[in-house]
Structure 1
């Protein structure tokens, strides 16, 4: 008689008893798993496999699971089920499939934590802790917030030990960059077709892209080409733009620091720059020379006193990378749910737990700082110079957000991708260190790029029609960061990228390796899936010959605002995030230590609030400026990304996707009626090009569409009996704080 162990729940009594011997189970599952093998990608090699392996479901007391074979390759951890029912096969055919890895696959660089499970206990696995013995269960937490639980009990002892050691070693042990799967894939894969020129994402690795961007924004800067071979500085990009008054003799001073790099130019003439600030060294003999050098740079940014210059040291008002990492570590724990019981226990203190992590408040602060800079450019017509120690983290976040608020081009799909290439990839963001692909230095790891995507999502959910792309696109992009095969996120700087690809080039090949870019979405999704990236409600901004800054006279027609903050959210002064300001004030008066960036935030100056309120009252300007609503209720949770793998948090036929599909239907109907009217008015006119429409699922989708399959529904009651009883025993429901269930 064989009793199946629990699936990570709290129950001590098994609910299922098998009268089949372990030997019979092993023999049956071994025969069923013969011939099961994952479809390997070019350059992918299987290290080891084990079967039969039981993959548990998320129901605590169900004792249910699926038998199959577990593989470990140089790219992923893959589970191949032995049998798939016809109903499940039809449901999976409707899913948002990724060509590189499936729903039962985990990229090695996407593994966050690994636990060894022993009955009701679990032990965190770290480097060098792989022993000869193996646990009966292995629990894997993924960076995309999926949770996998595998039972190794039924496999042969030697196979179970090898698969456990291989998974831990490949996922947790430090490795060299040459071991990244991107290099193996590139050597074996055929070259992908080039993107068409009319919809080309500018990579900003050639001088023509920078010239085109300066012409588009009418930037009054000069292009530097002398660093193409990194002869000036290895920390600067190959091509970049600087103020016209900056001498080229100053480029090599201070190892490339102190150079104002052009980001974007406003139609009124002012511009946004970023710069790596000098370290504070008061006793340095060169301090006077550095001050004089800094004065020359500021004068150059101000174009010889033609424009006033505002400098903004971001490290003084925004959290550093360590604080961002700590906050996100707390935040993500609320979504790594092992089972139903853990979900309902976390739901009791849901809102207060989210607030205590500080993650949403960091998002709010970044948006607020961006609004301040937008004010200087849009209203005050001043040049802005943002500074950071290396100008590679917060400078990338703030400069990108400012440009998205001011420039409608960056709210298109190709425009957004070009913005990421310019400010992040060519700008030298340390993707390799921040993502910690090589597992070498956790102190440098920080989700800075995810923070930027979070801020973009906040703008998207407040100004839906102003964006050509959808939140599904942002979710997929956040997942792609953890797949170490795209050159976009695999290096620390342009110099690192060029030198590494040349070093890995075979001797028979003269040109460097052409690693795939994340923007070639055909590598991951087919055309039908990519249709979900495009917003069917997107309305292009009106083309105007001239634009005037806010607060100045304008003859622009009164137009219907296409992008505006949610009118249902009322502005209430002195409101903290999810709590009143007085609650935070009481905490500070009690002597609690609160980090400056965690305190409730207000507008730093009255003029900033006046600027925001003036924009709120104005009709749509010709430049289509958008500003985020910063009040507490307006900063929301990115539900599609964080709740998509939790069955208990899904609503059947509800949520934002239901509203979007309905609006898309109405929009398509309006377009059809307009096309009929056009044909009647002008029968010989050419047919209009149809806008992108969302693919219609054959079944009513869940709130996590297109990621959640329809079989994720849970038969659990809205409030579990066990949790309700504990609440009643320990105290009345009215005494509990934040007991409202999560709203989806």
Structure 2
């Protein structure tokens, strides 16, 4: 560890730098000069000090207003404190005439962090360890703070707190990293460090001090991390640093820094509303496009273009805006080849006095008559309205000017009794606790959490919607606002009906269409950059949907092009804030924040690594799948819910290893098939 400070001089700054690929820590006093920096770095590297120093600085760039940043030459006797060095600044050391200067000839020192008011326990390592203290970072990720001798605590078999790992805690602009060290390498006499924990800042839901030395971190996934800090550490300072980074405004999250659009440019082109509707043969003689929402002025939480019956005019639809919650009118989301359809909306505004809206009744009747069955006089041909709530809940909403379609002609209302976000949140917490319980009451706690009962209810309802559409009728699906339970059931029903949505590309489109474009509040429900006030609206609705998909995959392992890793990747990045895909709550908000130009889509990363997410068993044979929805058929998704359980960890590891082996064998098999085909073509 190099240092140029004295006991009597106050510290001006501590620098974490990368020199020639190696990370090092330097500390300088307020009176230190630029030459002190150069001397210490060169001493550490064992090289001669150069005669000239250039600083490529963001702060200098702000003053000079040049773009790209200009290189400012520093006097070697300049006071360090006056140089305004910030994180991401770069020093270029060179030993030639300035007129012949080239960046390629210079030694580059990149500043990962600058701590002008440092924590009391900033990382201090012996020089022989500095070379091995490198942590692999993402594009534009930088280490802001590091703390040595941190212990991650966990539960032992006796339910006692025990140390899982001891190492270094790094706080970057994206995540918390715990790196541990393996024993000294005899040949190099250095310690090899590896990351053992990685927690995205966007996935932190709560942080607090449990004691004078322990930080308790709760993640959005309900996973908990307990960190035992060294005695010399200011625990309040550490907590505040993590909290400020984790609960910053969404516009400041890492996705806006991690912008590799030059490497991953195509993710945002995966979904085109018009192309997906054309795939479904829309528009046609029965359906047309409504295109007056291109600036989101009519329905802020809807896509810019959506389909409605051709017989419904824009004027009639304008009347319906006033009669549906949040103006979320019935709109087509899926058209089956037999003419049956799935439509989604919010609840009608009936109120206690049951206000009628002829335009709304007309719209639903026109949805009904788009199907060939509408000409029949029996049970076939009616419009099936699936209200995700219980009848009691739907009726109670009339007090709040809501309600349900109890008087609409030629229709049948199905009350599905799928629980709201608050019930789901409470059930999820109980389920997580139960899945990681090692006591004899494990099964009782899993049952009493009601999570698997909720999954059963969602799948059973989705099956009913799919049945209605498969027989050639149309369904209208809504809950209260039409963006939580409605998104779950609509997307799952389509997954059961259409094999396209069981492909990687199709599933990406399904999420884009029924979750992002139709206004599921992804950011609010996940808790991105969440404050205490916003926690009341948090709920694992999207996770619940992915759990349902996983349950179906378990029953139909050869009908899905993607594997479990695909779902786990989507789930992880729904709260990581690394990609722009799950930021904000509507297309309108994403457009206002220029998401497509300022962030990378998750689909970019996935679609350039398809071999990781491919299902080696994929051999689709069925157009429609009909999974069992009984509670007894439901399983615990151990890779998601059993993170503190030794059994769950072992199951997760075993499944992952087997999948890797299968993918390797599948790749080898494909290669052999290609060789056989090539040999056959030569004959």
TM-score category, normalised to shorter length:
0.5 to 0.7
Q: Which of the residues 487, 490, 495 maps onto 1:399? A: 490
Q: Matches of 1:144 and 1:219 in 2, distance apart? A: 46
SS in 1 for 2:151: strand
SS in 2 for 1:481: helix
**Following TM superposition, by how much is the alpha carbon of 1:27 offset from its aligned partner in structure 2, in angstroms?**
10
Q: Matches of 1:31 and 1:162 in 2, distance apart? A: 27
Q: Which of the residues 504, 517, 520 maps onto 2:604? A: 520
Q: Which of the residues 472, 477, 480 maps onto 1:389? A: 480
Q: Matches of 1:105 and 1:661 in 2, distance apart? A: 22
1:370 paired to 2:462: yes
CA shift in 2, pair 1:27/1:350, >3 Å: closer
Corresponding position of 1:344? 438
Corresponding position of 2:617? 537
**Following TM superposition, by how much is the alpha carbon of 1:265 offset from its aligned partner in structure 2, in angstroms?**
1.4
Q: Matches of 1:406 and 1:334 in 2, distance apart? A: 34
Corresponding position of 2:287? 221
**Following TM superposition, by how much is the alpha carbon of 1:457 offset from its aligned partner in structure 2, in angstroms?**
0.4
SS in 2 for 1:72: strand
Q: Matches of 2:510 and 2:285 in 1, distance apart? A: 16
Aligned residues: 514
1:629 paired to 2:602: no
Q: Matches of 2:184 and 2:646 in 1, distance apart? A: 20
CA shift in 2, pair 1:249/1:150, >3 Å: same
Superposed counterparts of 1:474-489, under 5 Å? 474-489=567-582
CA shift in 2, pair 1:192/1:280, >3 Å: farther
SS in 1 for 2:258: helix
Q: Give yes or no for contact 1:33–1:68 (8 Å, CA) kept in 2.
A: no
Q: Matches of 2:222 and 2:349 in 1, distance apart? A: 38
Q: Which of the residues 565, 586, 590 maps onto 1:493? A: 586
SS in 1 for 2:597: coil
Q: Matches of 2:316 and 2:434 in 1, distance apart? A: 50
Superposed counterparts of 1:338-487, under 5 Å? 344-345=438-439, 348-379=440-471, 381-440=472-531, 441-487=534-580
SS in 1 for 2:507: helix
Q: Deviations over 1:528-574 (max 9, x none)?
A: xx523100110134xxxxxxxxxxxxxxxxxxxxxxxxxxxxxxxxx
Q: Deviations over 1:147-197 (max 9, x none)?
A: 43322134x344x542233124434x5x433222222334xx55333349x
CA shift in 2, pair 1:37/1:161, >3 Å: farther
Corresponding position of 1:300? 366
CA shift in 2, pair 1:250/1:72, >3 Å: farther
1:75 paired to 2:167: no
Superposed counterparts of 1:613-624, under 5 Å? 624=623
SS in 2 for 1:486: coil
Q: Give yes or no for contact 2:264–2:605 (8 Å, CA) kept in 1.
A: no
SS in 2 for 1:489: coil
Moved more, 226-235 or 390-399: 226-235
Q: Give yes or no for contact 2:525–2:539 (8 Å, CA) kept in 1.
A: yes
Q: Give yes or no for contact 1:222–1:242 (8 Å, CA) kept in 2.
A: yes
Moved more, 354-363 or 161-170: 161-170
Q: Give yes or no for contact 1:225–1:238 (8 Å, CA) kept in 2.
A: yes
Q: Matches of 2:233 and 2:329 in 1, distance apart? A: 60
Q: RCO greater where, 1 or 2, for CA within 8 Å and sep 6 or more?
A: 1
**Following TM superposition, by how much is the alpha carbon of 1:276 offset from its aligned partner in structure 2, in angstroms?**
1.6
Q: Which of the residues 297, 310, 331 maps onto 2:384? A: 310
Corresponding position of 1:243? 309
Q: Give yes or no for contact 1:202–1:209 (8 Å, CA) kept in 2.
A: no
Q: Give yes or no for contact 1:318–1:365 (8 Å, CA) kept in 2.
A: yes
Q: Which of the residues 286, 292, 296 maps onto 1:230? A: 296
Q: Matches of 1:106 and 1:666 in 2, distance apart? A: 32
Corresponding position of 2:346? 276
Q: Which of the residues 125, 129, 136 maps onto 2:213? A: 136
Structure 2 length-normalised TM: 0.67
SS in 2 for 1:377: helix
**Following TM superposition, by how much is the alpha carbon of 1:492 offset from its aligned partner in structure 2, in angstroms?**
0.8
Q: Which of the residues 210, 220, 225 maps onto 1:148? A: 225
Moved more, 76-85 or 273-282: 76-85
**Following TM superposition, by how much is the alpha carbon of 1:500 offset from its aligned partner in structure 2, in angstroms?**
2.5
Q: Deviations over 1:371-405 (max 9, x none)?
A: 111111113x2111112222111111111011110
Q: Give yes or no for contact 2:214–2:226 (8 Å, CA) kept in 1.
A: yes
Q: Matches of 2:577 and 2:653 in 1, distance apart? A: 34
Corresponding position of 2:430? 330
Q: Matches of 1:635 and 1:219 in 2, distance apart? A: 42
Runs of 5+ consecutive residues of structure 1 not aligned to the other structure: 1-24, 88-92, 96-101, 119-134, 338-342, 503-511, 542-619, 686-744
Q: Matches of 2:168 and 2:675 in 1, distance apart? A: 56
Aligned CA-pair RMSD: 3.6
CA shift in 2, pair 1:456/1:201, >3 Å: farther
Greater strand content: 2
1:48 paired to 2:145: yes
**Following TM superposition, by how much is the alpha carbon of 1:425 offset from its aligned partner in structure 2, in angstroms?**
0.8
Q: Give yes or no for contact 2:466–2:497 (8 Å, CA) kept in 1.
A: yes
Q: Matches of 2:124 and 2:302 in 1, distance apart? A: 61
Q: Give yes or no for contact 2:296–2:304 (8 Å, CA) kept in 1.
A: yes
Corresponding position of 1:202? 270
SS in 1 for 2:169: strand
Q: Deviations over 1:38-67 (max 9, x none)?
A: 455455454433333233465467955644
Corresponding position of 1:736? none
Corresponding position of 1:181? 254
**Following TM superposition, by how much is the alpha carbon of 1:81 offset from its aligned partner in structure 2, in angstroms?**
3.2
Corresponding position of 1:164? 239
Q: Give yes or no for contact 2:287–2:309 (8 Å, CA) kept in 1.
A: yes
Structure 1 length-normalised TM: 0.62
Q: Matches of 1:77 and 1:664 in 2, distance apart? A: 31
Runs of 5+ consecutive residues of structure 2 not aligned to the other structure: 1-120, 187-191, 376-380, 391-416
Corresponding position of 2:69? none
Q: Matches of 1:626 and 1:414 in 2, distance apart? A: 19
SS in 2 for 1:281: coil
Q: Matches of 2:233 and 2:569 in 1, distance apart? A: 38
Q: Deviations over 1:82-104 (max 9, x none)?
A: 556679xxxxx9x9xxxxxx642
Return the index of the structure with the highest Cα Rg: 2
Q: Matches of 1:257 and 1:271 in 2, distance apart? A: 21
SS in 2 for 1:476: helix
CA shift in 2, pair 1:465/1:652, >3 Å: closer
**Following TM superposition, by how much is the alpha carbon of 1:448 offset from its aligned partner in structure 2, in angstroms?**
0.8
SS in 2 for 1:475: helix
Q: Matches of 2:163 and 2:644 in 1, distance apart? A: 18
SS in 1 for 2:293: coil
Corresponding position of 1:598? none
Q: Matches of 1:368 and 1:665 in 2, distance apart? A: 36
